[in-house]
Amino acid sequence: LSNYESQIVKLRLEIEKGEAVRQSLEYELAIVRKDARLKMGAAEEELGDVKNKLVELQVLNEELQQNVAETEKTFHIAQQKWKEQ
């Protein structure tokens, strides 16, 4: 009977060690998840900023293309008038 009691004590100790390891891993997992959420939030915010900047640059690009088209038109009109003189 003493041998069985000794075995039971050893098994209980192993269970307690396993439980301690499980709790430690759960704690680490919670920390990693929190860190991941924070990083994801920062990345989403940065992505939003980049998208806004892209829209601004697209608008600016369109304005510049219109400016180029108007300048080319003015140049061709001036060139045509110069040829006529």
Question: Cα 55 from chain centroid?
Answer: 18
State residue 60's pLDDT score.
Answer: 99
Q: For the chain, report the end-to-end CA distance as a whole number of angstroms.
A: 123
User: Number of H helices and number of E strands within the chain?
Assistant: 1, 0
Give the tens place of pLDDT for each residue, 24-41: 999 999 999 999 999 999
- State how far the Cα of 26 lies from the Cα of 33, in Å rounded to an integer: 10
Q: Which of 27, 15, 64 is nearest to 7 (CA)?
A: 15
Query: The pTM is what?
Result: 0.62
pLDDT by residue, tens only, the chain of 85 residues: 799 999 999 999 999 999 999 999 999 999 999 999 999 999 999 999 999 999 999 999 999 999 999 999 999 999 999 998 8
